[in-house]
């Protein structure tokens, strides 16, 4: 009788672990999707403003605060510069994702992007 109840508890813990893992992975992939949406917005701003100018950075940060709560950070060696038509601007979007039921685990999400200046 004791073995049966022990096995039931073991199955319960394993089932809960699997469910929490699946939910955590779903949230992780949702974060990656948000990062890709944010990357698309950054690309549009670079194209419209001729690079990561002060105005473009302000718009991107406002969008980040409004829609994502300030989760993302942009890094680029080409910040605060305006480029001529056809020049490529490279940047990286960074975010650290913490898994909700295992606080020890965290994963850095780093998405590289580039856009071409469309200002003549």
52 neighbors 74 (Cβ within 8 angstroms): yes
Band the pLDDT of 92: cuts 50, 70, 90.
very high
pLDDT beyond 80 at 75:
yes
Whether 103 has a pLDDT exceeding 80, the answer reads no
Give residue 63's pLDDT. Answer: 94
Identify the residue with better confidence: 2 or 118. 118
3-class SS of residue 113: strand
What contacts 24+ positions apart, CB below 8 Å, involve 104-112?
107/28, 109/31, 109/32, 109/35, 111/32, 111/35, 111/36, 111/39
Q: Do 89 and 78 meet the contact criterion of CB atoms below 8 Å apart?
A: yes
From the list 92, 86, 96, the residue with the least C-alpha distance to 39 is 92
In what side-by-side order are the strands of the sheet with 73-75?
A: 73-75, 88-98, 106-116
Percent of the chain with pLDDT over 90: 26
Q: Predicted confidence band at 102 (pLDDT cuts at 50, 70, 90)?
A: low
Q: How confident is the model at residue 111 (pLDDT cuts 50, 70, 90)?
A: confident
pLDDT digits (tens, 9 = 90+) for 25-74: 888 888 888 888 999 999 999 888 888 888 989 999 999 999 988 889 99
Can you give the pLDDT at residue 2?
Answer: 58
Mean pLDDT of all residues belonging to the chain: 85
Q: Where are the domains of the chain?
A: 2-116
Q: What per-residue confidence (pLDDT) applies to 67?
A: 92
3-state DSSP assignment of residue 120:
coil
Smallest CA-to-CA distance from 92 within 65, 111, 79, 108 is with: 111
Pairing of strands 73-75, 88-98: antiparallel
Q: Is the torsion defined by CA of 38, 39, 42, 48 positive or negative?
A: negative
């Amino acid at each position: 009788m004791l073995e049966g109840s022990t096995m039931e508890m073991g199955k319960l813990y394993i089932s809960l672990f699997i469910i929490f893992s699946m939910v955590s992975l779903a949230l992780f992939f949702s974060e990656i999707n948000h990062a890709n949406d944010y990357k698309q917005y950054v690309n549009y701003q670079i194209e419209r403003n001729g690079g990561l100018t002060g105005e473009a950075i302000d718009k991107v940060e406002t969008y980040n605060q409004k829609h994502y709560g300030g989760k993302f950070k942009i890094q680029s060696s080409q910040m605060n510069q305006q480029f001529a038509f056809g020049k490529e601007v490279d940047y990286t979007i960074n975010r650290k994702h913490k898994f909700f039921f295992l606080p020890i685990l965290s994963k850095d999400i780093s998405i590289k992007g580039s856009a071409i200046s469309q200002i003549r």
